[in-house]
């Protein structure tokens, strides 16, 4: 008898492929379906992972064997597939950001509650070893109460110009900032009060991509503050497409994390800082922090254990970015809650 948990992936692009890989490498999961509005893409992924493919959400929703669905569609397209799957009683692992409006994120949470299923946002950097260690140090009181932070997550031009076909419908705020805002709130363990931001536009829009070039913002807490920064216009000559930096200053200590340098520098015809802890394979076995939240979600469903990454946290990140967008428009400090 096959007692594996049936899984499915909606959105067969860069990250949907990672979800599919994770579901085929967890011993308790069986990948049954992949779905994409682009049939060729769905077919290619299905052939790679030996499962069925479809362009219709109905096929997955109506398959009673499917208990877990990953939603890895573009940032602005999480709501519809997530709501549909939740309404059919599926547990949903949705990519970050949970949604690009607080209203949509709240409706997703309400639907998950109504159906009594799990809904988790894939904030995979919590599983990224240096950030995971920072959380442990903070939790054990190593730096005292966090008071101030600086977080930067940026990409080189390759990401908006070549990697993502939908970059003009997202931006550094929706694509990059969910990672650093979630980590910030996780480290601070307290609710933010306000946000005020500054942004530049013109470089990407001159290339037909109608979004912010770079953004900086200050988030204030009751007792503390943090500067967050994301850019999509770093030069492609940079050694990595990701520039990731985090500093947390506490009452009695500090933590510095260089997320984009993972201990190896390679000089060939190019100088690079390759990622070494995101997705790896050795002797036929997979490991890496991008697979871990997906495997964790399977375990949560299998053991009926509530995921520790909560929908409320996903909503708060979306609410914060929505407030940031308002602040960028009005040039005023905006309340987050
Ligand atoms: N690429 C990354 O490095 C990365 C990292 C972390 C998280 N994510 C998140 O993962 C999500 C997907 O990003 P990506 O980089 O894989 O994008 P992508 O463009 O590579 O893939 C998205 C796929 O979704 C499909 N799609 C669009 N609308 C759909 C719909 N309504 N139903 C079914 N399929 C649909 C597209 O055809 C495409 O194949 C985004 O929310 C992104 O922020 C991406």
Residues 235, 156: contact at Cβ < 8 Å?
yes
Residue 3 pLDDT: 87
Q: Is the CB of 35 under 6 A from ligand 1?
A: yes
Ligand 1 geometric centre to CA of 75 (Å): 7
At 139-178, the pLDDT tens digits run: 999 999 999 999 999 999 999 999 999 999 999 999 999 9
Dist CA 79 CA 60 (whole Å): 16
Q: What's the start-to-end Cα distance of the chain, in Å?
A: 49
Q: Take residue 127 and report the two structure tokens written for it.
A: 């599983």
Q: Point out the ligand 1 atom lying closest to the alpha carbon of residue 165.
A: 19
Q: Fold for domain 5-123+285-310?
A: Rossmann fold (3.40.50)
Ligand 1 geometric centre to CA of 295 (Å): 19
Which residue lies with its CA nearest to atom 36 of ligand 1? 11
At 70-87, the pLDDT tens digits run: 999 999 999 999 999 999
Q: In the CATH scheme, what is the code of domain 129-276?
A: 3.30.360.10
DSSP string covering 180-196, please? HHHHHHHHH-S-EEEEE
Pocket test for ligand 1, best of 10, 37, 74 (most atoms within 8 A of CB): 74
Q: Please name the residues in contact with 7: beta carbons below 8 A apart, sequence gap of 6 or more.
A: 23, 29, 30, 31, 32, 66, 67, 68, 69, 70, 298
Helix ranges (DSSP H) in 198-310: 292-303
Average pLDDT, the chain: 97
Q: Is the CB of 95 under 6 A from ligand 1?
A: yes
Domain edges within the chain: 5-123+285-310, 129-276
Which residue pairs from 205-212 have beta carbons closer than 8 angstroms and sit at least 24 positions apart in sequence?
A: 207/161, 208/168, 209/160, 209/161, 209/167, 209/168, 210/168, 211/160, 211/167, 211/168, 211/169, 211/170, 211/171, 211/172, 212/171, 212/172, 212/173, 212/328
pTM higher than 0.95: yes
At 22-59, the pLDDT tens digits run: 999 999 999 999 999 999 999 999 999 999 999 999 99
In this structure, the number of other CB atoms found within 10 A of the CB of residue 22 comes to: 27
Ligand 1 geometric centre to CA of 328 (Å): 26
Q: Is the CB of 37 under 6 A from ligand 1?
A: yes
pLDDT for 321 beyond 70: yes
């Amino acid at each position: 008898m096959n007692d594996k948990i049936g899984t499915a992936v909606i959105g067969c692009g860069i990250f949907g492929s990672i979800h599919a890989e994770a579901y085929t490498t967890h011993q308790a999961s069986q990948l049954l379906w992949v779905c994409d509005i682009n049939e060729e893409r769905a077919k290619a992924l299905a052939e790679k992972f030996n499962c069925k493919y479809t362009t219709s959400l109905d096929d997955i929703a109506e398959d009673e064997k499917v208990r877990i669905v990953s939603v890895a569609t573009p940032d602005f397209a999480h709501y519809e597939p997530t709501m549909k799957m939740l309404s059919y009683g599926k547990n949903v692992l949705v990519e970050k950001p949970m949604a690009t409006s607080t209203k949509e994120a709240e409706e997703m949470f309400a639907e998950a509650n109504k159906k009594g299923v799990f809904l988790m946002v894939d904030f995979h950097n919590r599983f990224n070893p240096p950030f995971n260690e920072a959380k442990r140090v903070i939790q054990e009181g190593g730096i005292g109460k966090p008071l101030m932070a600086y977080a930067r997550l940026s990409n080189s031009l390759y990401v908006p110009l070549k990697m993502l076909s939908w970059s003009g419908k997202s931006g550094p705020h929706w694509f990059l900032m969910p990672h650093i805002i979630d980590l910030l709130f996780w480290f601070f363990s307290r609710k933010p009060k306000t946000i005020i931001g500054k942004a530049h536009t013109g470089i990407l829009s001159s290339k037909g991509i109608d979004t912010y070039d770079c953004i900086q913002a200050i988030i204030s807490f009751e007792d503390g503050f943090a500067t967050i920064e994301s850019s999509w216009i770093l030069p492609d000559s940079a050694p990595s497409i990701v520039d990731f930096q985090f500093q947390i200053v506490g009452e009695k200590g500090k933590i510095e994390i260089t997320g984009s340098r993972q201990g190896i520098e390679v000089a060939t015809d190019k100088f690079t800082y390759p990622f070494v802890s995101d997705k790896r394979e050795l002797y036929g076995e997979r490991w890496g922090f991008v697979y871990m939240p997906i495997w964790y979600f399977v375990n949560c469903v299998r053991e009926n254990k509530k995921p520790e990454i909560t929908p409320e946290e996903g909503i708060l990140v979306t609410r914060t970015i929505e407030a940031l967008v308002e602040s960028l428009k009005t040039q005023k400090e905006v309340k987050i809650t």
